[in-house]
Amino acid sequence: MAKAKLTLDKLFEGTFLVDLLTAKDNCPNEHVSRGEEVIGEMTAVERKLYGLLAQYGKLGGGIALKLEYDSLSDDESVLLEVAARELKSKLKTLRHLMWVLIKERLVEELGVEFSVGVRANFEIVRFIDNRKQNEPPEFIKKLVGDILDRR
């Protein structure tokens, strides 16, 4: 008896994860800024998760607007509130999965743990310690120290 080939659509069948297969890449538009260092790029799976998060986020915004501004029957309100709770749970799960995948891969590659973010072109950045960045250069510290010592 031949084994049936397991495809992703069969693997995810009946779950919200099947939406990953059709999720569009939704590239962030925030650019790398001061205090951030590019340390990698999102994988195809991470991009799909990010895209699905954006897609579900828009859907959640639509539900919130309906609940806030539409004249709904009690039954409609209850159904939308249930849908909103389920969507919130899915968003939390997807967000957690995306960050676990990113951090696990990068910690393995770079050997250190750090806080990360996603920027334009799917670049992954780590946040540089702002305390060091906000400190004045050594020559300024020495100059100020010399001036204070003269007093």
pTM comes to 0.73
Distance CA 139, CA 147 (A): 12
Burial class (CB in 10 A: 0-12, 13-18, 19+), 28: middle
Compute mean pLDDT per 10 residues along the chain, 151 residues long, and list them. Answer: 74 80 84 91 93 90 88 89 91 94 87 84 84 55 62 57
Extents of the domains making up the chain: 37-150
pLDDT (0 to 100) of residue 133: 46
